[in-house]
Chain A
Amino acid sequence: MKAIRIIFKREFASYFNTPLAAVFLVIFLFMCGIFTFQLGGLFDRGQADLRPFFNFHPWLYLFLVPAVAMRLWAEERRLGTVELLMTLPVNMRDLVLGKFLAAWAFLAVALAMTFPIWLTVSYLGNPDHGVIITSYLGSLLMAGAFLAIGSALSALTKNQVIAFVLCVVVCFGMLFSGFPLVLDFFGGWLPAFAIEAIASLSFLTHYEALSKGVIDLRDVLYFALVTGVFLYINALILDWKKAA
């Protein structure tokens, strides 16, 4: 546990040692603003809620989370510091978790910085704060799942660009399986329970459930499970690279 904390601290600080954090935060907040107010038409809808804002999160994360995740292990490999980390008396589990939690905390900071949007709707109307809170929770959980996928994939290569592309593709798959278009396509020839199974694999299905204001344990567990599985795969990939 102690090792996780030390790794976490180093990693989290490293985001703010470089201009990376500032650039990321500016882009993230800028995109949130554009999506919410311009494309989402927050003001025009005449409704005091944050639906347009949260509806865009999966698509925002599709590109921004891989940008954070790609460096997690690929950068260590490029610098050679992976050799340092893996010869320290630290468990693989602690290394993977420490790095993941730091990146997740960084995404949480980015998400937390969107609170002026919340303040704005609160000022203009009377939104359902419960719905907003569960939406934030869903968004954070979804970000974690995206990140775990990216972390695992970045352990495969020392090339960050490859890590980024792989991550976008896999994350897109995780979103895509919940797409109405895809489900309609399968709907033609698969039984209903199979369609439901495919849909239930998608981030979108569970994220939308959470952003309706109901915390269903199954949705929370789904994200926790996806995150856990990919972090486990992450450790397996690192082990496999050792033996390869």
Chain B
Amino acid sequence: MSNNLKALGLRKSFGDIRAVDGVDLVVPAGQVLGFLGPNGAGKSTTMKLVTGFLEPDAGSVEICGDDLLAKPLAAKRHIGYLPEGAPAYPDMTVMEYLSFLASIRELTGATHKSALERGFSLLHLEPVAHQTIETLSKGFKRRVGLAAALLHDPPLLILDEPTDGLDPNQKHEVRMLIRELGQKKTIVLSTHILEEVEAVCDRAVIINRGRVEFDGTPQQLDAKAPADVTSNRLEWVFRDITSTDLQMQGGLK
């Protein structure tokens, strides 16, 4: 099976902070990967590196066979990216915004029209089509961001905290959508919510302080908890892996 994302040896520092410190992320076609870690672990920075927003200090990124540094435009065409917080132009209407992105993605004529239609129906955006983005609720704004990432029907989706800040119903809805999309696409989604991983992911990668600390299936993650932990087992493992030594001494040990 081919790899839709192949990132090797990624490193990125901001001044003294090593945000990403030697991360490998090889994701085969069709996989849904949950990228986990506490706040500040380096999830967003890794995603910015693999989408080409930031350049790594070291390491390489290949998207569906195209090298991101050597062929940035070709590589970027394969990616649908939802940045953290789903940024969008507040003064544009949803229709204007998605239409602008479809155009710049080189969709024209009937393809342009059908891409918009698909986006609007998949994310249930019809009722807000002519509302400006600044007037939307958080849930709708996130859906606009997801629609924007899906417009050009990319094989690889990079979603940075797609459910962050949503209410439980909206979270559920977005998870169902991701699960559905995961049938056909490769998805990397970051989160710090563990139930999300059980619900939608084939594979979990936990990073802490810029390093990969766990890489396996959600079942393997679950198996790391001792038998006497009966509830919130994934959470137990997550804390076990990512807590600082100090917290470990005071808490878990």
Q: Contact residues of A with B, CB < 8 Å?
A: 2-3, 6-7, 9-10, 13-14, 17-18, 79-81, 83-84, 86-91, 242-244
Is B9 in contact with chain A by the CB < 8 A criterion?
Answer: no
Known contacts A79-B90, A243-B55: A89-B77 contact under CB 8 Å: yes
Residues of the B chain whose Cβ atoms lie less than 8 Å from the Cβ of A84? 81, 83, 87-88, 148
Is B48 in contact with chain A by the CB < 8 A criterion?
Answer: yes
Q: How many A-B residue pairs have CB under 8 A?
A: 67
- Residue on A nearest B78 in the bound complex, by CB: A89
Q: How far is the CA of A86 from the CA of B68 in the complex (A)?
A: 13
Most buried by A among B77, B85, B103: B103
Residues of the B chain whose Cβ atoms lie less than 8 Å from the Cβ of A10? 89, 92, 100
Is B52 in contact with chain A by the CB < 8 A criterion?
Answer: yes
Residues of the B chain whose Cβ atoms lie less than 8 Å from the Cβ of A81? 87-89
From B14, B77, B79, B87, A83 is in contact (CB under 8 Å) with B87
From A6, A80, A244, B104 is in contact (CB under 8 Å) with A6
Residues of the B chain whose Cβ atoms lie less than 8 Å from the Cβ of A79? 87-90
Interface mask (B92-128 → A, CB under 8 Å = 1, otherwise 0): 1000100011011110000000000000000000000
Judge whether A87 and B105 touch: CB under 8 Å.
no
From A7, A80, A89, A244, B105 is in contact (CB under 8 Å) with A89
CB B106 to nearest CB in A, in angstroms, measures 8
Is B91 in contact with chain A by the CB < 8 A criterion?
Answer: yes
8 A–B contacts, CB within 8 A, in A order: A10-B100, A81-B88, A83-B48, A89-B72, A90-B73, A91-B73, A243-B54, A244-B14
Q: Contact residues of B with A, CB < 8 Å?
A: 14, 48, 51-55, 72-74, 76-77, 79, 81, 83-85, 87-92, 96, 100-101, 103-106, 148
**From DSSP, what is the main secondary structure of chain A's interface residues?**
helix
Closest 10 CB pairs of A and B: A80-B87, A89-B76, A17-B91, A83-B83, A243-B55, A89-B73, A87-B51, A89-B77, A81-B87, A6-B103
Q: How far is the CA of A244 from the CA of B48 in the complex (A)?
A: 13
Residues of the B chain whose Cβ atoms lie less than 8 Å from the Cβ of A87? 51-53, 76, 79, 81, 83
CB B51 to nearest CB in A, in angstroms, measures 5
Known contacts A81-B89, A88-B76, A89-B77: A7-B104 contact under CB 8 Å: yes
Q: How far is the CA of A81 from the CA of B76 in the complex (A)?
A: 16
Residues of the B chain whose Cβ atoms lie less than 8 Å from the Cβ of A9? 100
Judge whether A14 and B79 touch: CB under 8 Å.
no
Judge whether A14 and B92 touch: CB under 8 Å.
yes
Residues of the B chain whose Cβ atoms lie less than 8 Å from the Cβ of A83? 48, 53, 81, 83, 87
